[in-house]
Each structure stands twice: as C-alpha cells, then as structure tokens.
C-alpha cells in the first residue's frame, strides 16, 4: 500500500521539475556552494530546453490568423501528430526511468503498464504544456505583440450542449485534452498592442506657474496658526457674532416632520451643513442673538439627503441659545513663537515662507505633470482593444461604487448613479490605458531604466510616511504584487520629468493661490499610499 | 464456486511480466519458466478448477497449473500481534501459441 502511494507523487515530481531529475543530490553533507551551482546549471539547462522546444514547435505548427475587431484577432493553432507523439514518448520514457510501481523494481515496469497507469495524468500535464508552448510559439511565429492572456474556444466535456465556449486559459486547461490520434487544433482570441506614432517630446509648451510668496500670504498663515492655537471663551453677556460657537437647543423640522431635536448642540456661526441640512443663512439670521433668545433660520434639504421624499424641501431650524463661545487668538509673543520652535517673528516668517515655497513648488510640479499627461493623451491617436478598455473601465467603476458605499451613500442612490459612474469610468479607463501605452513606448524609445535603489528609495519613502519598517512595507508590496506598479510609477515619473526638463516652459501666474494648505503639513503624495493601501 | 471467485486477480509483477514474455519451450529448464501467468486464486480452488476457470475467462488452452499457498505475515498493532490471511497463488502455463493480455 505504501509503495502504491508513492507512485503518484513521483509522477508529479518528475514533471514539475523537469531537468532536475538528472541530478540527484545524494551527498548527505551540505555543500552550499556546489548545491547552488547545480541549481543554476539546471535552470539554464531547463530554459534552453524550453526555448529549443518552442523553436521546434514554431517550425512544426500551423497558424491561421483572422481579424475580428479593433486590435482583436482569432488565432487557430494546429499541432501535428508527430510533435505530440514525440513529446508523449519523451514524457513516458522519462517517467519509466523513475516510476515506482508495486511488483516492479524502480525503472523496470514495462512501458505499456506505465502508459496505462499514468496516461491520464501525463495527457493532462502535456495538454497544458502544449497549450502554453504552442501558443507562445504561434505568437512568436506570427510576430504578434499581445496584451494579456488569450481566451480559448473549448468544449466543456461535462456540459450537455456541444457548443464551444470562449473561456480563460485557466478554465481551458481544465477542459482541453490532447486527442488520442490525429493533429491537435484549437482556436483562441487575443488582443494585440496598438501601433501609434509618438508626438514630439522635446520643446513641449508647458505653463510654469510663478512662485511668489507675498507678505499677505505669510500673514494669512500666521493667522491660521493662531486660530489653531486659540481657545473658546464663554461670552455669557455678549451678542452672537460670525464664527462664534453657539451651544443651544436645536430643532430642525420639515413641515410637520421633526428631523432633529437636541440639547446642547454645538454649531459654529457660519453657513454650514448640520445633520444633513444645508444652512446658508445661519450667520446672518443669528447675528446679534443673546443667551436665552430663540431664533429661526431656513435650511435646505439637499439632493443627496438620505430620505428621498424630503429632498429639495426647505427646513426650519429653531435654535435656543444656551451659551456663546468666542475664539480667542493667542498673542504673538515669545511663548507662542516658542511653541512653534521659533525665537522671533522674523524666524517664524522665514519658516512659513520656506514651507509655502516648497508646497507651491510641489504644486507647480504637479500642475506641469498634469499638462504633460494631457499633452500626451491628446496628441496620440491610439485605438484601444475593446475588451481591455472594458475590463479597465469595469475595475475603475467597481472601485468608485465601492467608495460611495463605504462613504455611507445608500444603495438605491449608488444604483442610480451607477450609469453615470460607468460612463465616467470608461473615459478615465481610456485615458489611463492610452497613457500606459504611450509611457511604455517612450520608455522603450528612451531606454529608461529603473534601478533597484530607486525602487528602494520609493519604498523607504512609503515606509517613512506610514511610520513602518522598510522591510515590512517591501514584503507587503511583493505579496500584493504592487512592486511592478511601483516600478511603472517610477519609470513614468522619470519620463515626465525628462519631458518637463526639455520642455519650453512659459511662466504664468498661478491658477489659484488660495488652495494652499497649512505650511506645517506636507502634501500627501499619491503613489505610495495607493500601492500599500491596496 | 463461480469462475470469477476462483480467479481473484492477475499478479502483475516484474517476474510475471518476464515469464509471460518468453516462451515455455525455450526456458523450461530455468526457474522462471516462460509462457506462464500468475494469479491470486481462491484458497480452496484446486488445480483443475483453476485450469477450467482460466480457459473459460481468457479463452486459452492451459498446459499446466502450479499452485502455492503464501502464508500471511505476522503483523503488530501496538501491543497486539495478528496475522495477515494466507492466500493462494497459481502459476498457469499456457499451451504454445496462446497468450493473455494482462495490461
């Protein structure tokens, strides 16, 4: 019984590690160096064997190609019987040498018995091998630049109908079997890379926003820092002013329906959305109110409100003031400066200026990059394979719908927006794919190479941002197979930077100065988090 | 006893394969005489019964039947000893010109 069991793993072993079986490591002591050497030798041997097989197949197979759409082809591959028989014989003779069958010494079992016993497994294994190698050989023979895996026409042996289905390679491998006689033929559908001309990449006209930090900008930042360090003081006798914080009883009604009734609700006195209701006139209607007073303002139920029947209606917001709190800003004195790590005002202003400059430089660089992306997508005429762009669009749409669901948007609302999301995703997918092909082509043309140290520095940056260990982040990237995406990101950045360096930069006024952030907070970069967050 | 109860299974072994691939005539003086096929048979089956059963099942002419009772091995499970059952092996020599395709 024990012997019987060992026969099957023996078979698996033989086939999974072709090329290894000739080198039995019989020595018991560890010779690491010699061992490594043997494996390296095996690997090259295996590779060259496989290449040889594909080269032989390339000559033997017959391939028919037909166009069936944009960048879509149907390929019929016929593998002659001689090739199949030769491969079967090779497999069985190799197997015969090592097969352990009860009643026979190792390697002494007759071929007929080996074929009968392992025939099914060998056919299974060989059919998947032949499918892969013949497909690769056919692609090489026809000089095709394919995109992704092909879809294969197969007949499901378990299905009742005889019709052929178009299935993925993984599924096809389950169904496809080599015929016992005659040539073997199969059809597959594949997508090929688009051919296109690159636009001129030198002297591209790019707007370069001027970076000027005015005294007013610095003053605004100082005010912001003061506001961050300010505290709210109760004003029991004062009248309500804009930007004060009110504490009171809040009652929101739409018609007869009470949406909210709460004690000690806190609201800043400025136009805002509270409990889902938009209150535009809050600041004006409550100005001058004192503690104990009740005022009413009008709100609007927005179109994305959870209760559909109330959308678009006006709401009445009744507020009874219980307390008024006002923000007291700290003085710009030594204590305030020290809390920011500065000794005097001039130092603080310089620090703010340098932070603002670096932020705006980043922003300007991003704007330039956006312009390069736009230039490349608008100046390249690329036909995209339908299936690929559809897949990409589906992925983007699915991600956006999931995002909406995560943000708590009700499912009925998501379903309503799904069509719009899908249309938007389609356009984005086309742009993404276009850029992908363009960058790939530029990368090849300019022979852009990304070194290991560049990848490592990116990983280190991600690790630093997430406050995690470098090796953990790297392992996670490897596990989630995002390392390739990181590589592509670095390559694309290098290409864009090179285009910007050789571009014709036109100095312009910045688009929007007020979009700046707090100077102490660095703008979050988009790549690393995307990769690790996945 | 039914013929399919008499012949339990053919014994496909290295020696058996060798014996079936050479003729009886050219190896009759050797230990592993050719033209013969080994089977596991019912322990109570006699040589004539085995001969008849083989002739019926495989449609061949039997020259000679040799039998041997293989005693079961002693086996231990934890602290208990037991015996595997005895079984009967039959080597059937066919008349020249006859052949059984076992696999």
- pTM equals 0.56
CB contact under 8 A, A103 and B103: no
DSSP string, A239-250: PP-TT-EEEEEE
Angle made by CA atoms A41, A45, A48, in degrees to the nearest 5: 140
How far apart are the C-alpha atoms of B75 and A484, rounded to whole Å? 59
Give the 3-state secondary structure of residue A296. strand
CB contact under 8 A, A103 and B12: yes
Pick the closest to residue A79 from A150, A148, A16, A127 (CA basis): A127
Partners of residue B14 in chain A, C-beta under 8 Å: 103-105, 108-109
Q: Cα–chain-centroid distance for residue B52?
A: 13
Q: How many percent of chain B have pLDDT more than 90?
A: 71
What's the pLDDT band for B44 if we cut at 50, 70, 90? very high
Q: Where are the beta strands (DSSP E) in A311-449?
A: 314-328
pLDDT score recorded for residue A378: 84
What's the pLDDT band for B46 if we cut at 50, 70, 90? very high
Residues 6+ apart with CB under 8 A from A396: A425, A428, A429, A432
Asked whether residue B88 carries a pLDDT value surpassing 90, the answer given is yes
Helix and strand element counts for chain A (H, E): 15, 14
Q: Has residue B79 been placed in a domain?
A: yes
pLDDT score recorded for residue B9: 94
How far apart are the C-alpha atoms of A450 and B81, rounded to whole Å? 70
How far apart are the C-alpha atoms of A113 and A106, rounded to whole Å? 13
| Cα distances (Å, whole numbers) of residue A338 to A114, A231, A332, A352 | 85, 18, 10, 14
| Cα distances (Å, whole numbers) of residue B19 to A306, A422, B103 | 87, 74, 14
Element (H, E) at A400: helix A386-406
pLDDT along chain A (534 residues), means of 10: 35 36 38 42 59 82 85 88 88 88 89 87 87 89 83 78 78 82 87 83 84 86 86 84 87 88 87 86 85 89 81 89 87 83 86 90 88 85 76 79 75 76 80 84 86 88 86 86 83 88 81 47 38 35
What is the 3-class SS of chain B, one letter each residue? CCHHHHEEEECCCHHHHHHHHCCCHHHCCCCCCCCEEEEEECCCCCHHHHHHHHHHHHCCCEEEEEEEEECCCEEEECCEEEECCCEEEEEEEECCCCCCCCC
How far apart are the C-alpha atoms of A369 and A499, rounded to whole Å? 9
Please state the domain count of chain B. Answer: 1
Q: Residue A116: which of B16, B17, B103 has the nearest Cβ?
A: B103
Partners of residue B17 in chain A, C-beta under 8 Å: 104, 110, 113
In this structure, the strands spanning A205-209 and A504-508 are parallel
pLDDT score recorded for residue A45: 55
Q: Cα–chain-centroid distance for residue A513?
A: 31
Partners of residue A108 in chain B, C-beta under 8 Å: 14
pLDDT score recorded for residue B76: 92
- Secondary structure letter of residue A290 according to DSSP: -
In the block, residue with structure tokens 């036109």: A506
Find the CATH number of the domain harbouring B12: 3.30.70.330
Asked whether residue B52 carries a pLDDT value surpassing 90, the answer given is yes
Q: Residue A105: which of B12, B14, B16 has the nearest Cβ?
A: B14
Q: Has residue B101 been placed in a domain?
A: no
pLDDT score recorded for residue A4: 36
CB contact under 8 A, B11 and A103: yes
The question of ipTM being above 0.90 is answered as: no
- Quick count: other Cβ atoms within 10 Å of Cβ B31? 6
Q: Has residue B75 been placed in a domain?
A: yes
Q: Has residue B103 been placed in a domain?
A: no
For B102, nearest residue in chain A (alpha carbons): A113
Domain membership of residue B36 as a residue range: 3-94
């Amino acid at each position: 019984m024990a012997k019987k069991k060992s026969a099957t793993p023996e078979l698996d072993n033989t086939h999974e590690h072709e090329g290894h079986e000739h080198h039995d490591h019989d020595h018991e002591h560890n010779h690491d160096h010699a061992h490594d050497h043997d494996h390296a030798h095996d690997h090259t041997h295996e590779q060259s064997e496989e290449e040889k097989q594909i080269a032989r197949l390339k000559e033997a197979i017959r391939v028919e190609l037909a166009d069936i759409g944009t960048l879509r082809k149907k390929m019929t591959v016929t593998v002659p019987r001689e090739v199949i028989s030769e491969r079967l014989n090779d497999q069985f003779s190799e197997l015969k040498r090592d097969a352990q069958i009860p009643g026979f010494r190792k390697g002494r079992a007759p071929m007929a018995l080996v074929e009968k016993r392992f025939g099914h497994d060998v056919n299974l294994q060989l059919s998947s091998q032949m499918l892969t190698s013949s497909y690769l050989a056919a692609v090489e023979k026809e000089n095709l630049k394919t995109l992704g895996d092909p879809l294969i026409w197969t007949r499901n042996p378990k299905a009742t109908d005889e019709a052929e289905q178009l299935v993925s390679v993984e599924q096809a491998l389950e169904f496809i079997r080599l015929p016992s006689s005659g040539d073997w033929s199969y059809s597959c559908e594949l997508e090929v890379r688009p051919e296109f001309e690159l636009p001129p990449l030198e002297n591209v006209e790019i707007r370069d926003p001027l970076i000027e930090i005015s005294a007013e900008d610095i003053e605004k930042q100082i005010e912001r820092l003061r506001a961050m360090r300010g505290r709210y003081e109760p004003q029991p006798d004062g009248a309500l002013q804009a930007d004060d914080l009110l504490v009171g009883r809040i009652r929101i009604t739409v018609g007869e329906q009470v949406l909210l009734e709460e004690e000690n609700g806190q609201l800043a006195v400025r136009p805002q959305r509270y409990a889902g209701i938009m209150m535009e006139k809050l600041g004006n209607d409550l100005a001058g109110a004192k503690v104990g007073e009740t005022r009413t303002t009008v709100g609007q139920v927005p179109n994305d409100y959870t209760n559909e029947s109330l959308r678009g209606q006006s709401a009445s917001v009744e507020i009874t003031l219980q307390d008024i709190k006002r923000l007291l800003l700290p003085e710009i004195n030594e204590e305030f400066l020290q809390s920011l790590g500065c000794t005097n005002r001039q130092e603080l202003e310089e620090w703010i200026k340098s932070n603002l400059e670096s932020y705006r430089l980043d922003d300007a660089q991003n704007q330039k990059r956006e312009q390069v992306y736009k230039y490349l997508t608008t100046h390249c005429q690329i036909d995209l394979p339908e299936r690929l762009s559809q897949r990409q669009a589906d992925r983007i749409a699915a991600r956006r719908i999931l995002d909406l669901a995560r943000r708590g948007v009700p499912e009925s609302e998501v379903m309503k927006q799904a069509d719009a999301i899908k249309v938007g995703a389609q356009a984005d997918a086309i742009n993404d794919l276009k850029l992908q092909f363009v960058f790939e082509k530029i990368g090849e043309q300019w022979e852009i190479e990304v070194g290991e140290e560049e990848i490592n520095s990116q990983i280190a940056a991600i690790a630093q941002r997430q406050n995690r260990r470098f090796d953990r982040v790297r392992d996670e990237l490897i596990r989630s197979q995002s390392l390739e995406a990181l590589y592509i990101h670095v390559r694309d950045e290098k290409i864009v930077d090179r285009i910007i360096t050789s571009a014709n930069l036109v100095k312009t006024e910045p688009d929007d100065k007020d979009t700046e952030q707090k100077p102490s907070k660095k703008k979050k970069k988009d790549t690393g988090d995307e990769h690790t967050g996945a | 006893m039914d013929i399919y109860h008499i012949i339990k299974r053919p014994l496909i072994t290295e020696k058996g394969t060798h014996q079936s691939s050479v003729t009886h005539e050219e190896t009759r003086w050797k230990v592993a005489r050719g033209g013969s096929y080994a089977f596991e048979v019912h322990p109570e089956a006699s040589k004539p019964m085995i001969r008849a059963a083989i002739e019926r099942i495989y449609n061949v002419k039997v020259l000679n039947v040799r039998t041997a009772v293989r005693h079961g091995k002693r086996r231990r499970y934890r602290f208990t000893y037991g015996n595997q059952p005895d079984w009967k092996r039959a080597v059937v020599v066919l008349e020249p010109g006859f052949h059984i395709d076992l696999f």
